[in-house]
Amino acid sequence: MVMSTLEELYVQGKEEGKKEGKEEGKEEGKKEGKEEGEVNRGIKDVLRILNLRFKRVPQSISRAVNLYKDPIALDSLLEHAATCKTLTEFEQDLAHR
């Protein structure tokens, strides 16, 4: 069976669309993976600073910090973890965010 020019163009366009979709999906996946890695690193850093400064971090604070998914908010939280005077001060600030 011989394909018409229109059918050939349709098949060609479909294949190009699949290829572009795969490439876009890969790029989106890389971006999401990078963001997730930044968030996980930010959470880990906040908890590490608190552990170094106060020796023991209550589970309630660990759970609350683990809820953060915004790298910018985690940076702010990291700064506060490094500068707060007490763990209670950190916890109170965390409750008001």
Q: What is the pLDDT of residues 42-79, one digit of tens each?
A: 999 999 999 999 999 999 999 999 999 999 999 999 99
pLDDT at 97: 83
* Cβ-contact 38, 71 below 8 angstroms: yes
Residues 6 or more apart from 65 whose CB is under 8 A from it? 43, 46, 47, 77, 94
Q: Which range marks the domain in which residue 9 is found? A: 5-95
Give how many domains the chain has, as a whole number: 1
To which residue do tokens 């890969």 refer? 26
Quote the Cα angle for 92-95-97, to 5°. 115
Q: What is the pTM of this model?
A: 0.66
Cα–Cα distances (Å) from 20 to 7, 13, 30, 60, 70, in that order, read 20, 10, 15, 45, 29
